[in-house]
Amino acid sequence: MAATGSEKQGAKAYYVSTPIYYVNDAPHLGHAYTTVAGDVLTRWHRQRGEKVWYLTGTDEHGQKIMRTAEANDVSPQAWCDKLVEEAWKPLWEHLDIANDDFIRTTEKRHTDRVQEFVQDLYDKDQIYKGGYEGPYCVGCEEYKLPGDLIEAEDGTPLCPIHKKPVEILKEENYFFKLSEYGPKLLEFYAANPGFIQPESARNEVVNFVEQGLQDLSISRSTFDWGVPVPWDTKHVIYVWVDALLNYATAVGYGANQEKFDATFPADVHLIGKDILRFHSVIWPAMLMAQGLPLPGKVVANGWLMVGGEKMSKSNLTGIKPQDLTSHFGVDAYRWYFLRAIAYGSDGSFSWEDFAARYTSELANDYGNLASRVAAMVGKYFGGALPEATAAGDAEQAVQDGLARAVATADEKIGEELDFQGGILAVFDFVKQVNGYITEQEPWKVAKDDSPEGKARLAAILYTAAESLRGVAVLLNAVMPETSQKLWESLGAEASLGALRDQPVQDAGRWGQLPAGATVTKGAVLFPRLEEKPA
């Protein structure tokens, strides 16, 4: 995606990352939820005129990947290549994700730097050799504490996330001295209360660290699908140490210092709450050990639930995003999950809720408004936007409403990552404009052929069209294809330039759409839904 011309080239990039996703299977709604959120956030900051870097990618090492590949009778590398090229990258393109980079942990640019990072820790006496025996969940790729486990009816210890039996592993490992970093982490959390969000996640992490940290096993020696430990190639680096380092290696760590300095650390790590401890305890401790700066914030989204269960392939609740986009469209898909679920909270998905919100808010409120305004400008003014010379208190109220929507949405989305709050602010304004048109009744005003009547009609329709101009800018990050269609139908592309170059914080400045702009009634923005497919 092209950057805006007003980017601050010398400033540090606003750097946002998603988790890098395991490629043991194709992506589902939960993966797409986080990735779309990151895309909306970074598009928003781009449209502020900021320099932005958006990273996503895939986690391709570890026992889980190895076993999945073996079950499919292919090599781990062949399995990863197939999934990445046939499932993951095509989905992000389909969902209009404007990421700046896509990193794979099997790439040499990553693996070489991982070895250097770990070697450096070893040379600093931060890593030692030992042994470990304990419960391990291959699905999480994590040793579990006994207190973390739940029990099946027969008493078998289970992973609380995957609801599957853990394996008791005993092997020789190398350990990172994580236990030394507990006090430093607690001091950092206290000095930076917004580092972990939401607050419930922060409280969980603080309580966990206050109980005392154990040293972290950073190698595995019972299988070989991973990055070799450089000083002892009988071991491979623990997949989570490997994976977390993608946030540094992707932006030039150890290879391109200029890029690294201009990008690192991440301003926002978007993650699922099930990987919270890795990102808020292990990752900052690793960075502290190397004297590197820590991220701005770690934001844990909730789980998408289906039938009361976390959406996942292992629970057989993994729904493909394409199942929904083929029915509702890509833009509606991008809008729905961020509008329907407060980011950071668990949320339940249902087809019926999606259909109801689509019809009510997108088709009836937003899409119908755009169609009505274009039709009336075409009918009463031949498609040329009239000049507003008879504006009054009603029009001023709409202007004020747009200014409020811009300020609220910019704060909610751009600063607080409250996507739902920002989207609702825009749609509250859409409702206000609909109410304004209902009250002003331009179809009745049009019957008054006097100069005063014509001026009044012009003021009403200009106000409505200019309002839509602001809405197109505000929703561009959320629904880029739809916003572009609206932008062009308002004649804004020809008169104001590219939509992506319109500063979002300036969207409330009234009167930008010039009189005489050619307004056309294009295709319906949100077509009527057919019946749910069988």
Distance CA(160)–CA(335), nearest Å, equals: 31
CA distance 188 to 179: 15
Question: In angstroms, rounded to a whole number, what is the distance separating the alpha carbons of residues 248 and 268?
Answer: 13
Q: Which residue type, as a one-letter code, is found at position 161?
A: I
Nearest to 224 by CA among 232, 213, 216: 232
SS3 content of the chain, % helix, strand, coil (to 5): 50, 15, 35
Please check whether residue 357 is in contact with residue 340, taking contact to mean a CB–CB distance below 8 angstroms.
Answer: yes
Three-state SS for 113? helix
Neighbours of 230 (CB within 10 A): 15
Q: Which residues pair with 102 in a beta bridge?
A: 56
For residue 261, the one-letter residue type is: D
Sign of the dihedral through C-alpha 327, 328, 331, 335: negative
3-class DSSP state of 519: coil
Q: Name, in order, each residue with C-beta under 8 angstroms of 355's C-beta and a sequence gap of 6 or more.
A: 328, 529, 532
- 14 in the Ramachandran plot: left (φ > 0), alpha (ψ -120 to 50) or beta? beta
> Could you give the angle at which helices 451-474 and 419-440 cross, rounded to 10 degrees?
170
Q: Which of 29, 25, 30, 27 is nearest to 80 (CA)?
A: 25
Among 87, 79, 109, CA closest to 26: 87
Catalytic residues: 28, 31, 137, 140, 159, 162, 310, 313
Please identify which residue in the block is written with the tokens 């395991």. Answer: 22
Q: What are the backbone dihedrals phi and psi of residue 132, each rounded to the nearest 5 degrees, phi first?
A: -145, 140
244's CB contacts (< 8 A; 6+ apart) are: 278, 279, 282, 283, 286
Residues 34, 18: contact at Cβ < 8 Å? yes
Q: Which amino acid is at 216?
A: L
Could you give the CA distance from residue 4 to residue 500 in angstroms, rounded to a whole number? 7
